[in-house]
Amino acid sequence: MRIVIIGPAYPLRGGLATYNERLARAFKEAGDEVRIVTFSLQYPDFLFPGQTQFSTEAGPADLDIDVSLNSVNPLSWWRVGRRLRAERPDMVVFRFWLPFMGPALGTVARLVRGNGHTRVVAITDNVIPHEKRPGDGPLTRYFLSACDGFVTMSRSVLSDLQRLGFGRKPALYRPHPLYDNFGPIKSKQEALSALKLPATTRYLLFFGFIRAYKGLDIMLEAFADERIVALPVKLIIAGEFYEDAAPYEVLIKRYNLETRIVRATDFIPNEKVVDYFCASDLIVQPYKNATQSGVSQIAYHFERPMLVTDVGGLAELIPNGVVGYVVPPTAKAIADAVVDFYAQQRESAFTAGVREQKKQFSWPIMVAALKQVAGAAIEQPKPVELK
Q: What pLDDT score was predicted for residue 4? A: 98
**Sign of the dihedral defined by the CA atoms of residues 35, 154, 133, 120, in that order:** positive
Residue 151 belongs to some domain of the structure = yes
Examine residue 279 and state whether it is found in any structural domain, yes or no: yes
Reply yes or no on whether the pLDDT at 129 is more than 70.
yes
pLDDT at 59 (0 to 100): 82
State the average pLDDT over residues 342-358: 96
Residue 386 lies in a domain: no
User: Domain check: are 51 and 168 in the same one?
Assistant: yes
Query: Do both 201 and 294 map to the same domain?
Result: yes
Distances (CA, A) of 185 to 92, 146, 237, 248: 34, 41, 20, 31
Give domain status of residue 304, yes or no. Answer: yes
Q: Are 324 and 350 in contact (CB under 8 A)?
A: yes
Same domain, 130 and 202: no
Q: How many residues does the chain have?
A: 387
94-108, 189-203, 222-236, 288-302: range with lowest mean pLDDT: 288-302
Assess contact for 330 and 218: CB atoms under 8 A: yes
Q: Which tens digit of pLDDT belongs to each residue from 20-60?
A: 999 999 999 999 999 999 999 887 765 555 556 666 677 88
**What pTM was computed for the model?**
0.81
**286 and 317 assigned to the same domain:** yes
- Lowest mean pLDDT, pick from 116-125, 176-185, 252-261, 321-330: 176-185
pLDDT over 50 (residue 165)? yes
- pLDDT, residue 382, reads 40
Q: What pLDDT was estimated at residue 47?
A: 56
Q: What is the pLDDT averaged over residues 284-294? A: 84
Whether 182 is covered by a domain: the verdict is no
Confidence (pLDDT) at 380? 45
Mean pLDDT, to the nearest integer, of 69-79? Answer: 96
Range of the domain at 140: 2-177+362-379
On the question of pLDDT at 261 being above 50, the answer is yes
Q: Report in angstroms the alpha-carbon separations of 114 from 12, 237, 352.
A: 29, 47, 50
What mean pLDDT is predicted for residues 76-101? 96
309 and 366, same domain (yes or no): no
> Could you tell me which of 150, 139, 82 has the C-alpha nearest to residue 112?
82
**Number of domains making up the chain:** 2
pLDDT bucket at 281, cuts 50 / 70 / 90: very high
For residue 138, give the H/E element and its range. Answer: helix 136-144
> Are 122 and 198 part of one and the same domain?
no
Helices then strands, each counted (H, E), the chain: 15, 13
Give, as one character, the DSSP assignment of residue 70: E
The sign of the dihedral angle between the CA atoms of 306, 13, 130, 262 is positive
- CATH code of 246's domain: 3.40.50.2000
pLDDT at 109: 97
The lowest-confidence range among 105-109, 148-152, 248-252, 309-313 is 309-313
DSSP sequence for 77-95: HHHHHHHHHHH--SEEEEE
Question: For residue 229, is pLDDT > 50?
Answer: yes
Judge if 197 and 143 occupy the same domain: no
Residues 199 and 158 in one domain: no
Shared-domain flag, residues 275 and 206: yes
Rounded to the nearest 5°, which phi and psi values hold at 303?
60, 50
Residue 297, domain member (yes or no)? yes
Percentage of the residues of the chain whose pLDDT score is greater than 90: 72
